[in-house]
Chain A
């Protein structure tokens, strides 16, 4: 008996280790036990309380990491917001154009402006549509707001159009209200004006000028601009300043009207003009 006691005392460390390991293994094999879950919940609850108190201590490393992450997220979200705004505006623009296309009744080719000059004497826009889309020289360019200009040069996939703010542009126009005809010109600096209208003509600010049926290049009735100022040019003619209905500064999408001038009419008028000279 004494020997057994001595033996146990001699190996007590290993006995304790064995007991502890048996306990550990017992725990390991009873992880889903309800009591074990309860003990775990209690321990986590107690430690969680202390840890939540400690969490108020600012952790510089975590803050740095968090800041970096937030900055990255901020940039990403800013980009997304910007893209969404852009998409929304594009959606509004395209919806308006689509409605216009459906109601205009003309053969139209939609185009995006890929280059634009609006501050020179002879301003033009470059469109991403060309002969492959049946776009040819002299075809009018319009938007839902009104006349933009006309195509002056084409390639297979691109075309260049003169806009109203071009010194070479002269368009026969008509007052929508009083039906008085005139010619729209650009002074090469900033002003669009309608010339060749007599002083006594019935033109007042607010009147809208549209393309005239006298024009061989444009279909009649396309709105162009609104009269903002009238006055006397000289003893015979009126000075009429017009603001275009199209906002050229923000112009992005246009339509090319598949309208070709009447060749017979053009040839006759040209021959007649030559004969007069």
Chain B
């Protein structure tokens, strides 16, 4: 029951984040290059770190495929990048879930989104008059950094809850 509930929760959250990503992302877009944070990536990293490589890659594949269907670009491109990024997130899985807390989570988000963005933009710009270092600097690094910055919200939020609990006398 919990297992099914967990799957449903993950799917709903991913669909919701994808909806937000596709609808409101313009607000957070930076520069003429439309550098934007990837909410779905943050969620996938969380799933990957929490549940492991298999879950991560399956959720990554499904979320990527849905994102591809909704985008005007190649179908399969986001699927590949999300699958690999979420699979890599599985390497950060540990018993004490260290990489789901604090700055460790930021590191894992940056590493995974860097890998995902690299694959995505590298394939995306194939045949375009832009070289790889330029793609790395203009798109991969900036998008990954921005996504990591946004994932700070997740890092701050549990701490707040912890503070609230301590006020209530809980441990």
Contact = CB atoms under 8 A, between A and B. Distances in A.
Contact of A16 (B58, B64, B69): B58
Interface extent on A, as a size class? 20 to 34
Interface extent on B, as a size class? 20 to 34
A24 B80 contact: yes
B75 A40 contact: yes
B80 A21 contact: yes
A51 B24 CA distance: 10
B57 A16 contact: yes
Interface stretch (A42-50, A209-217, A234-242): A42-50
B19 A51 contact: yes
B45 interface: no
Given A20-B61, A40-B69, A51-B19, A26 B76 contact: yes
Interface string A13-27: 100110011011111
Contacts of B57: 13, 16-17, 20
State the main secondary structure of chain A at its contact with B.
helix
Nearest to B19: A50
A39 interface: yes
A61 B26 CA distance: 9
A140 B19 CA distance: 78
A135 B70 CA distance: 75
B148 interface: no
A36 interface: yes
Contacts of A23: 61, 76, 79
A28 B58 contact: no
B80 A28 contact: yes
A31 B84 CA distance: 20
Contacts of A29: 76
A20 B87 CA distance: 11
B153 interface: no
Interface of B: 19, 22-24, 26-27, 52-54, 57-58, 60-61, 64-66, 68-70, 74-77, 79-80, 83-84, 87, 90, 123
Given A16-B58, A28-B77, 16 more contacts: A13-B52, A13-B54, A13-B87, A16-B53, A17-B84, A17-B87, A21-B84, A24-B64, A26-B76, A28-B75, A30-B75, A43-B69, A44-B69, A47-B70, A51-B19, A62-B27
10 contacts: A13-B53, A13-B90, A24-B64, A25-B80, A27-B76, A31-B76, A43-B70, A47-B19, A51-B23, A54-B23
Cβ-closest 5 pairs across A and B? A27-B76, A28-B76, A43-B69, A24-B79, A13-B53
